A and B are shown apart, each in its own frame.
Chain A
Amino acid sequence: MPLVVVGGLIFGFGLGLSHMARPEVVLDFLQFEDFGLLFVMGVGSIVAGAAFAIGTRFLDRAPLTGRAYARRLKSFDRNVLTGGVVFGVGWGVSGICPGAAYASLGIGNYPILLAIAGMFVGAYAQGVWRGRSDDADSAVATGD
Protein backbone atom coordinates (compact mmCIF):
# COMPACT_ATOMS: atom_id res chain seq x y z
CA MET A 1 0.00 0.00 0.00
CA PRO A 2 2.75 2.57 0.76
CA LEU A 3 4.31 1.82 -2.62
CA VAL A 4 0.95 2.35 -4.30
CA VAL A 5 0.78 5.73 -2.59
CA VAL A 6 4.31 6.67 -3.68
CA GLY A 7 3.64 5.47 -7.22
CA GLY A 8 0.37 7.39 -7.29
CA LEU A 9 2.11 10.54 -6.07
CA ILE A 10 4.74 10.30 -8.83
CA PHE A 11 2.04 9.48 -11.38
CA GLY A 12 -0.10 12.44 -10.32
CA PHE A 13 2.89 14.78 -10.20
CA GLY A 14 3.76 13.69 -13.74
CA LEU A 15 0.22 14.26 -14.95
CA GLY A 16 0.33 17.75 -13.46
CA LEU A 17 3.78 18.56 -14.83
CA SER A 18 2.90 17.28 -18.30
CA HIS A 19 -0.18 19.53 -18.24
CA MET A 20 -2.25 16.53 -19.26
CA ALA A 21 -4.45 17.42 -16.30
CA ARG A 22 -5.62 20.38 -18.39
CA PRO A 23 -8.33 19.39 -20.89
CA GLU A 24 -7.28 22.32 -23.08
CA VAL A 25 -3.83 20.83 -23.63
CA VAL A 26 -5.31 17.49 -24.67
CA LEU A 27 -7.74 19.23 -27.03
CA ASP A 28 -4.88 21.29 -28.51
CA PHE A 29 -3.13 18.02 -29.26
CA LEU A 30 -6.20 16.43 -30.83
CA GLN A 31 -6.70 19.56 -32.94
CA PHE A 32 -3.07 19.43 -34.11
CA GLU A 33 -2.13 22.68 -32.41
CA ASP A 34 0.44 21.24 -30.03
CA PHE A 35 1.95 17.80 -30.46
CA GLY A 36 3.53 17.75 -27.02
CA LEU A 37 1.24 14.97 -25.83
CA LEU A 38 3.09 12.57 -28.10
CA PHE A 39 5.99 12.96 -25.72
CA VAL A 40 3.84 12.30 -22.67
CA MET A 41 2.52 9.00 -23.98
CA GLY A 42 5.71 8.11 -25.83
CA VAL A 43 8.18 8.76 -23.01
CA GLY A 44 5.72 7.40 -20.44
CA SER A 45 5.30 4.07 -22.18
CA ILE A 46 9.01 3.81 -22.99
CA VAL A 47 10.00 4.42 -19.37
CA ALA A 48 7.38 1.96 -18.14
CA GLY A 49 8.29 -0.57 -20.83
CA ALA A 50 12.00 -0.34 -20.08
CA ALA A 51 11.38 -0.72 -16.36
CA PHE A 52 9.10 -3.71 -16.97
CA ALA A 53 11.66 -5.36 -19.23
CA ILE A 54 14.73 -4.71 -17.08
CA GLY A 55 13.07 -5.15 -13.69
CA THR A 56 11.45 -8.46 -14.48
CA ARG A 57 14.77 -9.79 -15.75
CA PHE A 58 16.24 -9.52 -12.27
CA LEU A 59 13.13 -10.24 -10.25
CA ASP A 60 11.07 -13.41 -10.46
CA ARG A 61 8.28 -12.28 -8.22
CA ALA A 62 7.10 -8.94 -6.94
CA PRO A 63 8.97 -8.35 -3.68
CA LEU A 64 5.97 -6.85 -1.89
CA THR A 65 3.18 -9.17 -2.92
CA GLY A 66 4.94 -12.33 -4.03
CA ARG A 67 2.90 -12.24 -7.20
CA ALA A 68 4.44 -13.43 -10.42
CA TYR A 69 4.86 -10.87 -13.17
CA ALA A 70 2.51 -11.38 -16.05
CA ARG A 71 2.39 -9.22 -19.12
CA ARG A 72 -0.75 -7.18 -19.29
CA LEU A 73 -2.29 -9.21 -22.08
CA LYS A 74 -6.00 -8.62 -22.12
CA SER A 75 -7.97 -10.74 -24.50
CA PHE A 76 -8.82 -9.16 -27.79
CA ASP A 77 -12.40 -9.04 -28.96
CA ARG A 78 -14.80 -6.64 -30.59
CA ASN A 79 -15.32 -4.85 -27.27
CA VAL A 80 -11.78 -3.54 -27.42
CA LEU A 81 -12.66 -1.73 -30.63
CA THR A 82 -16.13 -0.65 -29.52
CA GLY A 83 -14.74 0.63 -26.24
CA GLY A 84 -11.94 2.42 -28.03
CA VAL A 85 -14.43 4.21 -30.27
CA VAL A 86 -16.70 5.28 -27.41
CA PHE A 87 -13.72 6.30 -25.30
CA GLY A 88 -12.29 8.21 -28.27
CA VAL A 89 -15.47 10.20 -28.78
CA GLY A 90 -15.58 11.01 -25.08
CA TRP A 91 -11.91 11.98 -24.99
CA GLY A 92 -12.33 14.11 -28.10
CA VAL A 93 -15.38 15.87 -26.69
CA SER A 94 -14.01 16.57 -23.22
CA GLY A 95 -10.22 16.31 -23.37
CA ILE A 96 -10.21 14.26 -20.17
CA CYS A 97 -9.40 10.67 -19.29
CA PRO A 98 -9.67 8.97 -15.90
CA GLY A 99 -6.15 9.46 -14.51
CA ALA A 100 -5.82 13.01 -15.81
CA ALA A 101 -9.23 13.88 -14.38
CA TYR A 102 -8.19 12.83 -10.86
CA ALA A 103 -4.97 14.81 -11.26
CA SER A 104 -6.91 17.79 -12.53
CA LEU A 105 -8.79 17.87 -9.25
CA GLY A 106 -5.42 18.07 -7.53
CA ILE A 107 -4.46 21.24 -9.34
CA GLY A 108 -7.66 22.82 -8.07
CA ASN A 109 -9.71 22.44 -11.23
CA TYR A 110 -13.05 21.87 -9.54
CA PRO A 111 -15.19 21.95 -12.75
CA ILE A 112 -13.59 18.59 -13.56
CA LEU A 113 -15.90 17.09 -10.91
CA LEU A 114 -18.55 17.14 -13.62
CA ALA A 115 -16.39 14.93 -15.79
CA ILE A 116 -15.59 12.58 -12.91
CA ALA A 117 -19.29 12.37 -12.06
CA GLY A 118 -19.94 11.63 -15.73
CA MET A 119 -17.38 8.84 -15.72
CA PHE A 120 -19.03 7.19 -12.72
CA VAL A 121 -22.43 7.46 -14.39
CA GLY A 122 -21.02 5.95 -17.57
CA ALA A 123 -19.24 3.13 -15.79
CA TYR A 124 -22.35 2.42 -13.73
CA ALA A 125 -24.61 2.37 -16.78
CA GLN A 126 -22.23 0.08 -18.60
CA GLY A 127 -21.99 -2.26 -15.61
CA VAL A 128 -25.75 -2.49 -15.18
CA TRP A 129 -26.28 -3.04 -18.85
CA ARG A 130 -23.55 -5.64 -19.14
CA GLY A 131 -24.78 -7.41 -16.04
CA ARG A 132 -28.23 -7.79 -17.58
CA SER A 133 -27.08 -8.86 -21.00
CA ASP A 134 -24.48 -11.32 -19.80
CA ASP A 135 -25.75 -14.02 -17.47
CA ALA A 136 -22.36 -15.67 -17.23
CA ASP A 137 -20.95 -12.63 -15.50
CA SER A 138 -23.61 -12.50 -12.83
CA ALA A 139 -23.36 -16.24 -12.28
CA VAL A 140 -19.68 -15.83 -11.49
CA ALA A 141 -20.37 -12.92 -9.21
CA THR A 142 -22.97 -14.64 -7.03
CA GLY A 143 -20.11 -16.30 -5.17
CA ASP A 144 -19.30 -13.08 -3.35
Chain B
Amino acid sequence: MGLLKPPLHGVHDARGAKFTEFGGWDMPVEFDSIRTEHESVREAAGIFDVSHMGEIIVSGPDAEALMQRLTSNDVTVLSPGDAQYSMITNEDGVIIDDTVVYRLPDAIEGDYLFIPNAGHDGEMQRRWETHRDEWGLDASVENVTSDWAMFALQGPDAEKLLMAAVDEHTPAEPTAVQNLKSFTATVLSFDGAECIVARTGYTGEDGFEILAPWDDAEAVWELFDVQPCGLGARDTLRMEMGFLLSGQDFHPEDNPRTPYEAGLSFTVKLDTEFVGRDALERQHAEGVAEKFVGFQLLERGVPRHGYDITNTDEEHIGTVTSGTMSPTLGEPIGLGYVPVDYADPDTTIHVLVRGNPKKAVIKSLPFNQ
Protein backbone atom coordinates (compact mmCIF):
# COMPACT_ATOMS: atom_id res chain seq x y z
CA MET B 1 0.00 0.00 0.00
CA GLY B 2 1.28 3.42 -0.89
CA LEU B 3 1.73 6.20 1.57
CA LEU B 4 -1.28 8.29 2.51
CA LYS B 5 -1.05 11.92 1.49
CA PRO B 6 -2.42 15.00 3.22
CA PRO B 7 -4.81 17.06 1.09
CA LEU B 8 -2.13 19.72 0.56
CA HIS B 9 0.59 17.33 -0.57
CA GLY B 10 0.69 18.89 -4.04
CA VAL B 11 0.71 22.42 -2.61
CA HIS B 12 3.62 21.55 -0.34
CA ASP B 13 5.47 19.86 -3.19
CA ALA B 14 5.09 22.94 -5.38
CA ARG B 15 6.39 25.05 -2.49
CA GLY B 16 9.58 22.94 -2.48
CA ALA B 17 8.97 20.90 0.65
CA LYS B 18 10.95 17.78 1.41
CA PHE B 19 8.86 14.84 2.53
CA THR B 20 9.27 11.96 4.93
CA GLU B 21 7.23 8.89 5.83
CA PHE B 22 5.53 9.21 9.18
CA GLY B 23 2.94 6.75 10.45
CA GLY B 24 2.11 5.64 6.93
CA TRP B 25 1.78 9.20 5.63
CA ASP B 26 4.01 11.14 3.25
CA MET B 27 4.41 14.39 5.19
CA PRO B 28 6.46 17.55 4.71
CA VAL B 29 9.53 17.39 6.95
CA GLU B 30 11.12 20.67 5.92
CA PHE B 31 10.10 23.64 3.79
CA ASP B 32 13.05 26.02 4.10
CA SER B 33 15.31 24.98 6.95
CA ILE B 34 14.48 23.43 10.29
CA ARG B 35 16.32 26.25 12.03
CA THR B 36 14.41 28.95 10.13
CA GLU B 37 11.07 27.26 10.78
CA HIS B 38 11.86 26.61 14.44
CA GLU B 39 12.90 30.21 15.04
CA SER B 40 9.79 31.51 13.27
CA VAL B 41 7.59 29.63 15.70
CA ARG B 42 9.53 30.78 18.76
CA GLU B 43 9.71 34.41 17.62
CA ALA B 44 6.60 35.00 15.45
CA ALA B 45 4.53 32.15 14.05
CA GLY B 46 4.55 29.14 11.80
CA ILE B 47 1.96 26.77 10.40
CA PHE B 48 2.24 22.99 10.26
CA ASP B 49 0.22 20.54 8.23
CA VAL B 50 -0.50 17.76 10.73
CA SER B 51 -3.23 16.10 8.71
CA HIS B 52 -1.59 12.74 9.46
CA MET B 53 -3.03 12.91 12.97
CA GLY B 54 -6.12 10.73 13.43
CA GLU B 55 -9.64 11.87 14.28
CA ILE B 56 -12.20 9.62 15.92
CA ILE B 57 -15.66 10.79 16.97
CA VAL B 58 -17.47 8.93 19.74
CA SER B 59 -21.17 9.62 20.24
CA GLY B 60 -24.27 8.18 21.83
CA PRO B 61 -25.75 7.60 25.27
CA ASP B 62 -22.67 5.75 26.55
CA ALA B 63 -20.03 7.86 24.78
CA GLU B 64 -18.87 9.34 28.08
CA ALA B 65 -18.62 5.93 29.74
CA LEU B 66 -16.63 4.51 26.82
CA MET B 67 -14.21 7.46 26.77
CA GLN B 68 -13.84 7.31 30.53
CA ARG B 69 -12.95 3.63 30.53
CA LEU B 70 -10.43 3.83 27.68
CA THR B 71 -8.53 6.98 28.63
CA SER B 72 -6.61 7.70 31.83
CA ASN B 73 -7.86 11.25 32.47
CA ASP B 74 -11.33 12.19 33.72
CA VAL B 75 -13.59 13.08 30.79
CA THR B 76 -16.51 13.89 33.07
CA VAL B 77 -14.94 17.25 33.93
CA LEU B 78 -15.15 18.36 30.28
CA SER B 79 -17.85 20.82 29.26
CA PRO B 80 -18.70 21.24 25.56
CA GLY B 81 -15.65 22.86 23.95
CA ASP B 82 -13.18 21.63 26.55
CA ALA B 83 -10.13 19.54 25.72
CA GLN B 84 -7.74 17.47 27.81
CA TYR B 85 -4.46 15.65 27.29
CA SER B 86 -4.85 11.98 28.09
CA MET B 87 -3.23 8.58 27.84
CA ILE B 88 -4.55 5.38 26.36
CA THR B 89 -3.09 2.55 28.43
CA ASN B 90 -3.20 -1.22 28.33
CA GLU B 91 -3.96 -3.54 31.30
CA ASP B 92 -0.38 -3.10 32.53
CA GLY B 93 -0.75 0.67 32.60
CA VAL B 94 1.62 0.95 29.64
CA ILE B 95 0.98 3.87 27.28
CA ILE B 96 -0.37 2.68 23.92
CA ASP B 97 -0.87 6.21 22.66
CA ASP B 98 -1.20 9.75 23.91
CA THR B 99 -4.10 11.85 22.72
CA VAL B 100 -6.15 15.00 23.15
CA VAL B 101 -9.80 14.33 24.01
CA TYR B 102 -12.35 17.00 23.05
CA ARG B 103 -15.88 17.27 24.25
CA LEU B 104 -17.23 18.65 21.03
CA PRO B 105 -18.67 22.19 20.95
CA ASP B 106 -22.45 22.22 20.64
CA ALA B 107 -22.21 23.45 17.06
CA ILE B 108 -20.65 20.16 15.95
CA GLU B 109 -22.60 16.95 15.76
CA GLY B 110 -21.19 14.31 18.09
CA ASP B 111 -20.12 14.04 21.70
CA TYR B 112 -16.38 13.40 21.86
CA LEU B 113 -13.50 13.69 19.45
CA PHE B 114 -10.07 12.31 20.15
CA ILE B 115 -6.88 12.64 18.16
CA PRO B 116 -4.72 9.51 17.99
CA ASN B 117 -1.22 9.74 16.60
CA ALA B 118 -0.48 9.19 12.93
CA GLY B 119 -1.20 5.65 11.83
CA HIS B 120 -2.92 4.73 15.10
CA ASP B 121 -6.46 5.66 14.10
CA GLY B 122 -7.38 2.21 12.78
CA GLU B 123 -6.02 0.49 15.89
CA MET B 124 -7.84 2.93 18.18
CA GLN B 125 -11.10 2.56 16.28
CA ARG B 126 -10.88 -1.23 16.73
CA ARG B 127 -9.95 -0.84 20.40
CA TRP B 128 -12.94 1.40 21.04
CA GLU B 129 -15.34 -0.85 19.12
CA THR B 130 -14.06 -4.06 20.73
CA HIS B 131 -14.40 -2.70 24.26
CA ARG B 132 -17.75 -1.10 23.50
CA ASP B 133 -19.08 -4.48 22.40
CA GLU B 134 -17.42 -6.32 25.28
CA TRP B 135 -18.91 -3.92 27.81
CA GLY B 136 -22.30 -3.71 26.05
CA LEU B 137 -22.20 0.08 25.73
CA ASP B 138 -24.35 2.11 23.37
CA ALA B 139 -21.95 4.37 21.49
CA SER B 140 -20.92 4.95 17.90
CA VAL B 141 -17.23 5.11 16.97
CA GLU B 142 -16.50 6.89 13.72
CA ASN B 143 -13.03 7.18 12.24
CA VAL B 144 -13.12 10.52 10.39
CA THR B 145 -9.38 10.82 9.77
CA SER B 146 -9.88 11.15 6.03
CA ASP B 147 -12.61 13.78 6.45
CA TRP B 148 -10.50 16.36 8.27
CA ALA B 149 -7.26 18.13 7.51
CA MET B 150 -5.44 19.46 10.55
CA PHE B 151 -3.16 22.46 10.80
CA ALA B 152 -1.24 23.80 13.77
CA LEU B 153 -0.75 27.57 13.81
CA GLN B 154 1.84 28.17 16.52
CA GLY B 155 3.79 31.06 17.94
CA PRO B 156 3.36 34.39 19.73
CA ASP B 157 1.70 35.93 16.66
CA ALA B 158 -0.76 33.06 16.21
CA GLU B 159 -3.70 34.86 17.80
CA LYS B 160 -3.54 37.93 15.61
CA LEU B 161 -3.03 35.80 12.49
CA LEU B 162 -6.08 33.73 13.36
CA MET B 163 -8.15 36.83 14.05
CA ALA B 164 -7.18 38.24 10.65
CA ALA B 165 -8.17 35.04 8.87
CA VAL B 166 -11.46 34.26 10.55
CA ASP B 167 -14.58 35.25 8.67
CA GLU B 168 -16.46 38.29 9.86
CA HIS B 169 -19.71 36.39 9.97
CA THR B 170 -18.39 34.00 12.58
CA PRO B 171 -20.42 34.67 15.71
CA ALA B 172 -18.75 37.03 18.17
CA GLU B 173 -15.66 37.44 16.03
CA PRO B 174 -13.00 38.59 16.96
CA THR B 175 -13.67 37.97 20.63
CA ALA B 176 -14.31 34.32 19.75
CA VAL B 177 -10.59 34.00 19.14
CA GLN B 178 -9.42 36.15 22.04
CA ASN B 179 -11.76 34.41 24.44
CA LEU B 180 -10.65 30.96 23.42
CA LYS B 181 -8.74 29.72 26.44
CA SER B 182 -5.95 27.15 26.44
CA PHE B 183 -7.36 23.66 25.90
CA THR B 184 -10.74 24.84 24.69
CA ALA B 185 -12.24 24.55 21.22
CA THR B 186 -14.89 26.33 19.22
CA VAL B 187 -16.22 26.44 15.68
CA LEU B 188 -15.01 29.25 13.44
CA SER B 189 -15.56 29.97 9.78
CA PHE B 190 -12.66 30.53 7.38
CA ASP B 191 -13.44 31.49 3.81
CA GLY B 192 -16.84 29.93 4.37
CA ALA B 193 -15.43 26.69 5.73
CA GLU B 194 -16.63 25.65 9.18
CA CYS B 195 -13.58 24.53 11.17
CA ILE B 196 -13.01 23.27 14.69
CA VAL B 197 -10.39 25.52 16.26
CA ALA B 198 -8.71 24.63 19.54
CA ARG B 199 -6.15 26.58 21.52
CA THR B 200 -3.74 23.66 21.65
CA GLY B 201 -0.47 22.61 20.09
CA TYR B 202 2.75 20.74 20.67
CA THR B 203 5.42 23.42 20.40
CA GLY B 204 5.26 25.11 23.80
CA GLU B 205 4.02 28.33 22.21
CA ASP B 206 0.60 29.89 22.24
CA GLY B 207 -1.23 28.61 19.22
CA PHE B 208 -4.17 26.90 17.65
CA GLU B 209 -4.99 23.65 15.99
CA ILE B 210 -7.47 23.90 13.16
CA LEU B 211 -9.52 20.99 11.90
CA ALA B 212 -10.65 21.89 8.40
CA PRO B 213 -12.90 19.83 6.16
CA TRP B 214 -10.63 17.91 3.78
CA ASP B 215 -12.03 19.60 0.67
CA ASP B 216 -11.61 23.10 2.16
CA ALA B 217 -8.09 22.48 3.39
CA GLU B 218 -6.25 24.38 0.70
CA ALA B 219 -8.47 27.46 0.98
CA VAL B 220 -7.98 27.58 4.74
CA TRP B 221 -4.21 26.98 4.56
CA GLU B 222 -3.82 29.78 2.00
CA LEU B 223 -5.38 32.28 4.41
CA PHE B 224 -2.25 32.19 6.55
CA ASP B 225 0.64 34.12 5.06
CA VAL B 226 3.13 32.69 7.52
CA GLN B 227 6.18 30.45 7.55
CA PRO B 228 5.19 26.89 6.62
CA CYS B 229 6.89 24.39 8.91
CA GLY B 230 7.57 20.69 8.57
CA LEU B 231 7.78 17.80 10.97
CA GLY B 232 11.49 18.49 11.48
CA ALA B 233 10.81 21.78 13.26
CA ARG B 234 7.87 20.23 15.09
CA ASP B 235 10.32 17.65 16.45
CA THR B 236 12.93 20.17 17.64
CA LEU B 237 10.23 22.39 19.18
CA ARG B 238 8.61 19.54 21.11
CA MET B 239 11.99 18.25 22.27
CA GLU B 240 12.88 21.63 23.76
CA MET B 241 9.64 21.37 25.75
CA GLY B 242 10.32 17.78 26.82
CA PHE B 243 7.12 16.60 25.11
CA LEU B 244 7.03 12.92 24.21
CA LEU B 245 6.87 11.56 20.70
CA SER B 246 4.69 8.47 20.31
CA GLY B 247 6.63 5.48 19.04
CA GLN B 248 9.94 6.99 20.03
CA ASP B 249 9.78 8.24 23.63
CA PHE B 250 7.29 5.49 24.38
CA HIS B 251 6.22 2.41 22.45
CA PRO B 252 4.04 -0.36 23.89
CA GLU B 253 6.40 -3.12 22.69
CA ASP B 254 9.82 -1.55 22.07
CA ASN B 255 9.86 0.86 24.99
CA PRO B 256 6.87 0.16 27.27
CA ARG B 257 6.38 3.09 29.65
CA THR B 258 3.68 4.14 32.05
CA PRO B 259 2.44 7.72 32.47
CA TYR B 260 4.21 7.87 35.84
CA GLU B 261 7.56 6.92 34.32
CA ALA B 262 6.95 9.45 31.55
CA GLY B 263 6.28 12.28 34.01
CA LEU B 264 2.63 12.53 33.00
CA SER B 265 0.95 11.80 36.33
CA PHE B 266 -1.42 14.74 35.72
CA THR B 267 -3.11 12.69 33.00
CA VAL B 268 -3.91 9.82 35.39
CA LYS B 269 -7.03 10.06 37.52
CA LEU B 270 -7.01 7.00 39.78
CA ASP B 271 -10.48 7.85 41.10
CA THR B 272 -11.88 6.91 37.68
CA GLU B 273 -12.19 3.41 36.23
CA PHE B 274 -10.14 2.76 33.08
CA VAL B 275 -8.09 0.00 31.50
CA GLY B 276 -4.73 -0.03 33.27
CA ARG B 277 -5.93 1.78 36.39
CA ASP B 278 -5.12 -1.02 38.82
CA ALA B 279 -1.59 -1.46 37.51
CA LEU B 280 -1.06 2.29 37.74
CA GLU B 281 -2.45 2.41 41.25
CA ARG B 282 0.15 -0.19 42.28
CA GLN B 283 2.94 1.76 40.61
CA HIS B 284 1.73 4.96 42.20
CA ALA B 285 1.95 3.30 45.63
CA GLU B 286 5.32 1.65 45.03
CA GLY B 287 6.97 4.43 43.08
CA VAL B 288 8.72 4.20 39.72
CA ALA B 289 12.16 2.70 39.14
CA GLU B 290 12.94 4.89 36.15
CA LYS B 291 11.97 8.40 35.12
CA PHE B 292 11.84 10.37 31.89
CA VAL B 293 14.49 13.09 31.94
CA GLY B 294 16.06 15.74 29.79
CA PHE B 295 19.80 16.19 29.55
CA GLN B 296 22.26 18.51 27.90
CA LEU B 297 25.49 17.28 26.39
CA LEU B 298 28.46 19.23 27.72
CA GLU B 299 30.88 18.01 25.05
CA ARG B 300 30.78 18.30 21.28
CA GLY B 301 28.35 15.91 19.63
CA VAL B 302 24.65 15.35 19.15
CA PRO B 303 22.64 12.77 21.14
CA ARG B 304 20.40 10.62 18.94
CA HIS B 305 17.62 8.08 19.45
CA GLY B 306 19.11 4.74 20.48
CA TYR B 307 22.42 5.96 21.91
CA ASP B 308 23.37 4.39 25.26
CA ILE B 309 23.32 6.39 28.48
CA THR B 310 25.86 5.33 31.14
CA ASN B 311 26.84 6.55 34.57
CA THR B 312 30.30 8.00 35.11
CA ASP B 313 31.58 4.46 35.79
CA GLU B 314 30.53 3.55 32.23
CA GLU B 315 27.71 1.29 33.44
CA HIS B 316 24.67 1.23 31.17
CA ILE B 317 21.74 3.02 32.81
CA GLY B 318 19.46 3.91 29.91
CA THR B 319 18.94 4.79 26.27
CA VAL B 320 18.40 8.10 24.51
CA THR B 321 14.84 8.22 23.17
CA SER B 322 15.11 11.61 21.39
CA GLY B 323 17.93 14.04 20.78
CA THR B 324 18.91 17.00 18.69
CA MET B 325 20.91 20.19 18.56
CA SER B 326 18.50 22.68 20.12
CA PRO B 327 18.03 25.58 17.71
CA THR B 328 16.96 27.89 20.55
CA LEU B 329 19.72 27.01 23.02
CA GLY B 330 22.43 26.18 20.51
CA GLU B 331 23.23 23.19 22.72
CA PRO B 332 22.85 19.45 22.15
CA ILE B 333 19.88 18.15 24.15
CA GLY B 334 18.26 14.80 24.62
CA LEU B 335 15.49 12.87 26.35
CA GLY B 336 15.44 9.39 27.83
CA TYR B 337 14.68 7.23 30.85
CA VAL B 338 17.17 6.71 33.68
CA PRO B 339 16.95 5.10 37.14
CA VAL B 340 15.50 7.54 39.67
CA ASP B 341 18.90 7.77 41.38
CA TYR B 342 20.19 9.57 38.29
CA ALA B 343 17.10 11.64 37.54
CA ASP B 344 17.74 14.76 39.61
CA PRO B 345 18.79 17.97 37.83
CA ASP B 346 22.57 18.55 37.71
CA THR B 347 23.36 14.81 37.92
CA THR B 348 26.25 13.95 35.61
CA ILE B 349 25.73 11.13 33.13
CA HIS B 350 27.47 10.01 29.95
CA VAL B 351 25.99 9.52 26.51
CA LEU B 352 27.82 7.21 24.12
CA VAL B 353 28.02 9.16 20.88
CA ARG B 354 29.11 6.60 18.30
CA GLY B 355 30.64 4.63 21.15
CA ASN B 356 32.51 7.56 22.73
CA PRO B 357 31.35 8.65 26.19
CA LYS B 358 30.37 12.33 26.26
CA LYS B 359 29.64 14.13 29.48
CA ALA B 360 26.06 15.28 29.96
CA VAL B 361 24.02 16.73 32.78
CA ILE B 362 20.38 16.17 33.72
CA LYS B 363 18.29 19.33 33.17
CA SER B 364 14.85 20.37 34.32
CA LEU B 365 12.19 20.32 31.63
CA PRO B 366 11.33 22.26 29.60
CA PHE B 367 14.82 23.08 28.39
CA ASN B 368 13.95 26.58 27.22
CA GLN B 369 12.26 27.78 30.40
Same complex origin of A and B: no
Binding site for B on A (CB under 8 A): none
